[in-house]
């Protein structure tokens, strides 16, 4: 079962010694900061944890799974998340 935002804030508060409200405020501020950086074409690196960046995906062809008909999938921009060394070793 995934950890929900409130539980994550509570765990961050316990680990860092700040109040749960302060931890929640930091989590709330993280989303618009990350979104603005990625929208501006910047990448975000949390050393040891993860790197978040954007990548341009070119137009390509695919198939409609229901009909088998060939379709064109438009070009787009996607978010890429790569785990850092600390995160990789914690999962192993």
In order along its 92 residues, the chain shows pLDDT tens digits of 899 999 999 999 999 999 999 999 999 999 999 999 999 999 999 999 999 999 999 999 999 999 999 999 999 999 999 999 999 999 98
2 CB neighbour count, 10 Å cutoff? 5
Buried b (16+ CB within 10 A) or exposed e, 40-63: eeeeeeeeeeeebbbeeeeeeeee
Tell me how far apart the alpha carbons of residues 52 and 77 are, in angstroms, rounded to a whole number: 13
CATH number at residue 83: 4.10.520.10
Domain count, the chain: 1
Q: Provide the whole-model pTM.
A: 0.75
| Domain residue limits at 75 | 5-91
């Amino acid at each position: 079962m995934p950890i929900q935002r409130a539980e994550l804030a509570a765990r961050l508060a316990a680990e860092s010694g700040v109040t749960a409200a302060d931890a929640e405020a930091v989590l709330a501020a993280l989303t618009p900061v990350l979104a603005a950086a990625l929208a501006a074409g910047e990448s975000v690196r949390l050393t040891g944890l993860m790197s978040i960046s954007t990548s341009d995906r070119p137009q390509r062809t695919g198939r409609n799974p229901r009909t088998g008909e060939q379709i064109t999938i438009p070009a787009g921009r996607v978010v890429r998340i790569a785990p850092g060394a600390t995160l990789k070793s914690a999962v192993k």
